Amino acid sequence: MTAVTVEAFKDYLKKIKSYEEALHLMAWDLRTMIPKKGMDQRSEVIGQLSETIHTLKTSTEMKHFLDELPPQVEDDPVMKQLLKVCQKDYDRDSKIPTAEYTAFVTLRSKAETVWQEARENDDFSLLAPYLEKLIDYNQRFSTYWGYHDKPYNGLLDQYEPGLTTDVLDPVFEKLKHALSSLVSKISASSVEVDAGQLLHYFPKDAQRAFSLSVLDKMGYDFDAGRLDETIHPFAIGINQNDVRVTTRYDEYDFKTAIFGTIHEGGHALYEQNIDPAFAMTPLAEGTSMGIHESQSLFWENFVGRSQVFWESQYKTFLSYAPEAFQTIEFTEFYKAINEVKPSFIRIEADELTYALHIIIRYELEKDLIQGTLQVKDLPEAWNDKMESYLGIRPTSDTLGVLQDIHWAAGDFGYFPTYALGYMYAAQLHDAMSQEINIPMMIQSNDFEPMKAWLIEHVHRHGRMKEPLDIIKDVTGEGLNPSYLIQYLTEKYRAIYGWD
């Protein structure tokens, strides 16, 4: 048995992180560049690596460190938190049999590949048997963790520690009611917003060039990252000095790539600016997916969709845009990129109806995990909720239940963090506004003060602080949807002009 010292423990964690880095690199390649014939074997390799990581995290050696080290680090707050995080991970991971975990990881890698095929063929039935097995694994895992009556809470806790449906349900009900009311007011408005004028051919290379210029202004470190193309955009931290961003291009709707890139860039800024002292430990990660989403949505919506952002960037934008965009009046352009119109695709949704997409998925996956909804009935249930909440009904699986990769990746409990992050972002934006003149910074093309504020209050802490502690320390209160509701009300009253 290895000697129980702080240095030995750090070396052990470095070994785990080394395997995780290889795993993340393979995951990035699987979603971006791998040849189609390589996908099956890559899924098996990912499963084997995941098994090794799971074994290391749940080994008797890890338990020995966790049992014996606490007295040695009583006066070291960083080491105390590191042990706390590792203990929580150990308690969760050790309750899952290694063989089951390996089978689950291999299955979800294969399911991601099948998901792509299902989308190409617009055929949910291809994915359905994989989804049934993934749901079964998630149900069992949550039971192993002790969540017998409400297994969905165990899945939520993976992505947002401490969050339960008892907390989230009333918050989402309040948000859903407020958003529905705003959609009704916009529908009744006499103001016309013509987003169709933006649907001109915009070459992929030109979109990429403008996207890179925006990432640069945000402060994304290109020496520690890169921008690539994928079906479903994501950001992934290989390590703090290698944080990669991906996007998806639509040559007849530039908004998909531009706002997608800004969104993933917000994630990347978080990962790039965690305290370097936490490198090669579990502290060098985002504290929760809700906090992570707060960073991406802060940049995408509160900055990237603001009027002052486009006032400051419009000349640059036009330098990349085709001739068809040159005659669009700025005021009409700004309204057009902020059009509120219920749509099928979540990642292309306007910022007002976006959270309704998340609430739909939250309600569906709760029912799937609780066993009150069967996979075979999922497409119809999806379409029914889309029609009920957004007034539109998907005409295909690709526009409906197949549009997101998350369930194929086994990530149940993840979706709520998107809306949670949106609410966090509104609270952080309000707190930042009390210290920084945000519009003036954006207008002057000086994003550094905003980035520095987020680094100080959010990024640098990694997992050193719990998510709700970050929000409470910065804003003085817990989760509060009122800030998001107020932001959306004021912005869209100005655009659509209701009393």
Computed over every residue of the chain, the mean pLDDT equals 95
Asked whether residue 263 is marked as a ligand-binding residue, the answer is: yes
Q: Which amino acid is at 76?
A: D
Q: Within its chain, how far is the Cα of 206 from the centroid?
A: 26
Residues 172 and 34 in one domain: no
Write down the catalytic residue from 20, 112, 160, 264.
264
Q: Residue 327 belongs to a domain with what CATH number?
A: 1.10.1370.30
* pLDDT number for residue 2: 67
Instruction: Kindly report, residue by residue over 263-317, the tens digit of the pLDDT.
Output: 999 999 999 999 999 999 999 999 999 999 999 999 999 999 999 999 999 999 9
- Contact predicate 192/335, CB 8 Å: no
Residues 117 and 233 in one domain: no
Q: Is 160 part of a structural domain of the chain?
A: no
| C-alpha dihedral sign at 479, 481, 483, 488 | positive
Range of lowest pLDDT (19-23, 101-105, 170-174): 101-105
Residues 134 and 171 in one domain: no
Q: Which helix (H) or strand (E) holds 243?
A: strand 242-247
* pLDDT number for residue 347: 83
Q: Within its chain, how far is the Cα of 98 from the centroid?
A: 27
Overall average pLDDT of the 198-208 stretch: 96
Residues 281 and 347 in one domain: yes
Enclosing domain of residue 54: 6-149
Residues 207 and 97 in one domain: no
59-to-3, 62, 104, 242 alpha-carbon distances in Å: 15, 5, 19, 29
* pLDDT number for residue 3: 80
Residues 31 and 110 in one domain: yes
* DSSP codes of every residue in 154-213: HHHHHHSTT--HHHHHHHHHHHHHHHHHHHHHHHH------GGGG-S---HHHHHHHHHH
Q: Is 157 part of a structural domain of the chain?
A: no
Residues 190 and 133 in one domain: no
Rg of the chain over Cα atoms, rounded to whole angstroms, equals 23
* pLDDT tier for residue 351 given thresholds of 50, 70 and 90: very high
**Phi and psi of 398, rounded to 5°?**
-65, -40
Asked whether residue 293 is marked as a ligand-binding residue, the answer is: yes
Write down which residue in 116, 149, 182 finishes a domain. 149
* pLDDT number for residue 43: 87
Residues 325 and 457 in one domain: yes
Residues 40 and 88 in one domain: yes
pTM here is: 0.91
Write down which residue in 149, 174, 201 finishes a domain. 149
Question: Which residue, 176, 132, 85, is CA-closest to 374?
Answer: 132
Instruction: Kindly report, residue by residue over 9-22, the tens digit of the pLDDT.
Output: 999 999 999 999 99
Q: Is 50 part of a structural domain of the chain?
A: yes
Q: Does 1 have pLDDT greater than 80?
A: no
- Into how many domains does the chain fold? 2
Q: How do beta strands 235-239 and 242-247 pair?
A: antiparallel
Q: Is 29 part of a structural domain of the chain?
A: yes
Rounded CA-CA distance 355/421 in Å is: 10
Q: Is 469 part of a structural domain of the chain?
A: yes
**Is 264 considered catalytic here?**
yes
Give the up-direction half-sphere exposure of residue 437: CA atoms within 13 A in the CB hemisphere: 6
